[in-house]
Amino acid sequence: MKMLCQSSEELNELVMEAKACTKHGKVADYIPALAKSNQHDLSVAIHYPDGRCVSAGNVGKKFTLQSVSKVISLALVLMDWGPEYVFEHVGMEPTGDPFNSIIKLETIAPSKPLNPMINAGALVVTHMIKGKTIEERFQRLLAFVRELANENTIHYCEDVASSEFETAYLNRSLCYFLKQHNAINEDIEQLMDLYTKQCAIEMNCLDLARIGVVFAMDGVDLFTGKQVIPVDIARICKTFMVTCGMYNASGEFAIKIGIPAKSGVSGGIMGAVPGRYGIGIFGPALDEKGNSIAGIKLLELLSKNYKLSMF
């Protein structure tokens, strides 16, 4: 097996090649904060299990996690409650419907989101984060993110959180539908507050690669040797990243690239190559499925060049 990029130069070449396709993508424009992103940005970091990290692009650029956060909240909730309880409330099956679809909540009885990577499922997951108050629950999640990234300055972007809070009508619709069916039983405005803060947690691609490598290495923190996430839970999260991490392009991504990965509408992608590396990417120009267009291209180049597919 050819070793993965040994140098930033090598990685930089791939970034240059992938960057060519940013012009075919579009930044998310549903909130001003995201619309201001530079369409041509592309940064990447690859974190090795031995602590080394190779990166390219403007790696200091911060972005909000958005849907990437769904994997992290899932890990926390699985640690809070255990898989049995959690999967009574959210399913394990991929879906052919869009990530924000409400249809299956009506057609499947009892009403239960198909998986934790679609919005309905992620909202049920966030609903399960333990804590007495919204503030306490968010601080627990944030502390977990900081621990995973080994970076105590990580915070959330208030502008993005409040913009999304103002306009999250579809998520409120999903929440109330779930509340009608007793799948959520807290105040929806409070839950939206927590959920939009979760989505607005902000970091750069170095931090994200660092989190990715924890998932890749079965939940172990490389520096401390501490098991930050139990093995089984890290494995469950990687499985969801494969079966439903890349919206409605998850199947194609698994076939063409074969890396457990989760993307967000801000243009972030977290990859976790089992037993090998963590990858953090930021490229805000999205393809029509909502995934970073240059990020996907870059992962395809990496997977082909270094044989990263699990399959």
Alpha helices in the chain (DSSP H): 8-19, 32-35, 69-81, 83-89, 103-107, 119-127, 134-149, 158-167, 169-180, 188-199, 205-216, 231-244, 250-256, 293-306
Distance CA(22)–CA(232), nearest Å, equals: 37
Q: Any contact of residue 177 with its own copies (CB under 8 A)?
A: yes
Question: Residue 155 carries which side chain, given as an amino acid letter?
Answer: H
Q: Which residue in the block uniquely carries the two structure tokens 């270094």?
A: 306
- Least Cβ distance, residue 31 to its own copies (angstroms): 14
For residue 265, indicate whether it is catalytic: yes
Nearer to its own copies, 19 or 276 (CB): 276
Distance CA(209)–CA(55), nearest Å, equals: 10
Q: Which of residues 188-207 bind its own copies (CB under 8 A)?
A: 188
Select from 174, 209, 286, 302 the one that contacts its own copies (CB under 8 A). Answer: 174
Q: Which of residues 248-307 bind its own copies (CB under 8 A)?
A: 248-252, 254-255, 258, 260, 274
Instruction: Give the per-residue contact string, 38-67, with its own copies (x = CB under 8 A; - = no).
Output: ------------------------------
Catalytic entry in 90, 265, 266, 297: 265
Catalytic entry in 43, 44, 48, 70: 70
CA distances from 150 to 207, 272, 283 (A): 8, 17, 23
For residue 263, indicate whether it is catalytic: no
Q: Any contact of residue 79 with its own copies (CB under 8 A)?
A: no
- Least Cβ distance, residue 225 to its own copies (angstroms): 20
Residue 77: beta bridge partners? none
Distance CA(266)–CA(283), nearest Å, equals: 8
Distance CA(11)–CA(6), nearest Å, equals: 8
For residue 85, indicate whether it is catalytic: no
Active site residues: 67, 70, 195, 247, 265
* Contact set with its own copies (CB under 8 A): 91-97, 101-104, 106-107, 114-115, 169-170, 172-177, 179-180, 188, 235-236, 238-240, 242-244, 248-252, 254-255, 258, 260, 274, 309-311
